[in-house]
Chains A and B, each alone.
Chain A
């Protein structure tokens, strides 16, 4: 059957936004190319999640099994392998998330299907799949045209499509048979939540956020003084937390915190999509970066191309009492 297959993603009994983002993409893709939209939901006690999906696809495949209670790649791979072999979907779509990044490459290797990972968009042109990606940390856009294959695997970057999904399709729920489960050499133990932080950056009205451009830890005090002068809280992007120049609890982004302050001031942050995902809904974003083409300027409302070590001392003076 000609179809596009979407793997629903969820954690702790809740569907994740990426599922609906994929459905939005897939619904348009299915309509344009005259194919069916099929969703595969793997998990345990999944009936409530299934209810939320049945009006957003044409086929809803359900596999409810204790093996699938919390994500682990062994059973997921086995279930996906069986489903793809039986149905031969033209395109299989998985989120480019911690689950999808774990799952898609071995699935592609197992089935020998080409995998285009971390795609912002995909389309069909004369039988060729074309995908849009970003490379070099978001500094370059890449448009890739693929050779003709019967099947493709794509992982979609989170945040590229709206997560509010239309309910203009209807699917019959089909329970699929579980595979003969193998013995799995990786076992899920538990989720570990981050420890409580000294400061809650999600509660701040103004955030002054530092990135790789800060250069060395000694420079952070300069930014801290500026933050104090305007009554702001200090946060950071991933490289600063990785180097432990600021605690992980101050990190803004996909794997850190999502913030929505009135003003977000990004200093020396290039703006990888994982960072943008954590701050793009701030009411006002001001970015200072040496590279005028840094991706941060695409989400900023106000941009300053310049050296933060020149800008910040002068800017701080403007707030001197």
Chain B
């Protein structure tokens, strides 16, 4: 069971206050911690679990700058066997097609029974790259997986639908599956664990080696001509409670009593 996992490094924004950079088209990333995209972390864990029960190897692929080596090392520490880094230079400003082109050129020559990736990335949230890749590779696919069970040359997938419902489907292998968060419990990665894999060589490639011209990728190859970012207006509609902590809590308690019908 050879598995390829496509992963991405993203800025950690859940707890951060974001600012928009000077040109208005990107956020200011200076103070942000970079980490593996949350969905991709679950994908790596799922890949390693499937390898542990069915044998084979796991190859992780990312498209990023030199710092993206961190997420590859992290995946290796989780149990992946090989790692490939596609240099993102020339890919900057790519849309989902552009990113998928880079991944496609690498993945098509790898050995795989299953390709896993996160259902989406927390930065742009396109939720496109994985399934575009599936279509180009001519693979059956399923998105938003909450459960993956290998059954001979088939795989049974539970897809997450709306309203507490799942769809159970059967795919023939090889296949591509995008993973939803919560599918498993990703293992903890220690600094020691990352140290242990520091000598594993990471294969590096770039658009030139992959035979991609700069007009196919990056902003030239993108369907988007410009992007303007803005911060949502803060607390639109909400009455913000202010004062000392005690005053705020006094007001809040009164609201809860009044609106909740507590005497």
Tell me whether B164 and A306 are in contact (CB under 8 A). no
Tell me whether A230 and B182 are in contact (CB under 8 A). no
**B240 CB-CB contact with A under 8 Å:** yes
**B211 CB-CB contact with A under 8 Å:** no
Known pairs A242-B182, A263-B260, A300-B238; A145 contacts B226 (CB<8 A): yes
Known pairs A301-B239, A306-B245; A141 contacts B230 (CB<8 A): yes
Which of A102, A104, A290 has its CB near the most chain B CB atoms (within 10 A)?
A: A102
Chain B contacts of A302 at CB under 8 A?
238-241, 252, 255
Which of A19-27, A46-54, A57-65, A190-198 faces chain B? A190-198
Closest A residue to B119 by beta carbon equals A101
Chain A contacts of B165 at CB under 8 A?
191-194
Size bracket, chain A contacts: 35 or more
Rounded to whole Å, the gap between the CB of B229 and the closest CB of chain A is 5
**A258 CB-CB contact with B under 8 Å:** yes
- In the complex, what distance in Å separates the CA atom of A290 from the CA atom of B119? 28
- In the complex, what distance in Å separates the CA atom of A193 from the CA atom of B129? 29
Chain A 125-167 residues near chain B, CB threshold 8 A = 128, 133-147, 149
Tell me whether B168 and A114 are in contact (CB under 8 A). no
Size bracket, chain B contacts: 35 or more
- In the complex, what distance in Å separates the CA atom of A230 from the CA atom of B261? 11
- In the complex, what distance in Å separates the CA atom of A135 from the CA atom of B120? 11
Tell me whether B236 and A206 are in contact (CB under 8 A). no
- In the complex, what distance in Å separates the CA atom of A299 from the CA atom of B237? 7
Chain A contacts of B96 at CB under 8 A?
105, 115, 117
**A78 CB-CB contact with B under 8 Å:** no
- In the complex, what distance in Å separates the CA atom of A139 from the CA atom of B18? 7
Tell me whether B144 and A238 are in contact (CB under 8 A). no
Tell me whether B14 and A142 are in contact (CB under 8 A). no
Chain A contacts of B182 at CB under 8 A?
238, 241-244, 248
Which of B56-64, B83-91, B169-177 faces chain A? B169-177
Chain A contacts of B134 at CB under 8 A?
106
Chain A contacts of B129 at CB under 8 A?
105
Q: Mark B86-107, 1 if CB is under 8 A from A, else 0.
A: 0000000001110010000000
Which of B95, B143, B261 has its CB near the most chain A CB atoms (within 10 A)?
A: B143
Tell me whether B131 and A118 are in contact (CB under 8 A). no
**B205 CB-CB contact with A under 8 Å:** no
Q: Is the interface of A mostly helix, strand, loop or mixed?
A: mixed
Tell me whether B160 and A189 are in contact (CB under 8 A). no
Chain B contacts of A116 at CB under 8 A?
223
Chain A contacts of B141 at CB under 8 A?
73, 102, 106, 186
| A-B residue pair count with CB separations less than 8 angstroms | 279
- In the complex, what distance in Å separates the CA atom of A205 from the CA atom of B169? 37
Chain A contacts of B237 at CB under 8 A?
297-301
Tell me whether B140 and A185 are in contact (CB under 8 A). yes
Rounded to whole Å, the gap between the CB of A186 and the closest CB of chain B is 5
- In the complex, what distance in Å separates the CA atom of A258 from the CA atom of B163? 8
**A293 CB-CB contact with B under 8 Å:** yes
Chain A 1-35 residues near chain B, CB threshold 8 A = 11, 16
Chain A contacts of B97 at CB under 8 A?
108-109, 114
**B250 CB-CB contact with A under 8 Å:** yes
Which of A85-93, A172-180, A313-321 faces chain B? A313-321
Tell me whether A206 and B230 are in contact (CB under 8 A). no
Chain B 25-66 residues near chain A, CB threshold 8 A = 27
Chain B contacts of A145 at CB under 8 A?
224-227
Tell me whether A192 and B167 are in contact (CB under 8 A). yes
Tell me whether B234 and A297 are in contact (CB under 8 A). yes
Known pairs A230-B256, A298-B238; A146 contacts B224 (CB<8 A): yes
Cβ contacts A to B, 16 pairs, < 8 Å:
A105-B128, A106-B141, A115-B96, A137-B125, A138-B232, A141-B231, A186-B142, A192-B165, A284-B255, A290-B15, A293-B18, A298-B236, A300-B237, A302-B239, A314-B246, A315-B252
Q: Besides the contacts A191-B165, A295-B232, A304-B240, what 12 more A-B pairs have beta carbons closer than 8 Å?
A: A98-B161, A102-B142, A109-B97, A114-B97, A117-B125, A141-B231, A143-B230, A145-B225, A191-B161, A257-B164, A283-B259, A302-B255
Which A residues are closer than 8 A to B by beta carbons? 11, 16, 70-74, 97-98, 101-102, 104-106, 108-110, 114-118, 128, 133-147, 149, 184-194, 205-206, 212-213, 230-232, 238-239, 241-244, 248, 254-258, 262-263, 265, 270, 283-284, 286-287, 290-293, 295, 297-306, 310-311, 314-315, 317-319
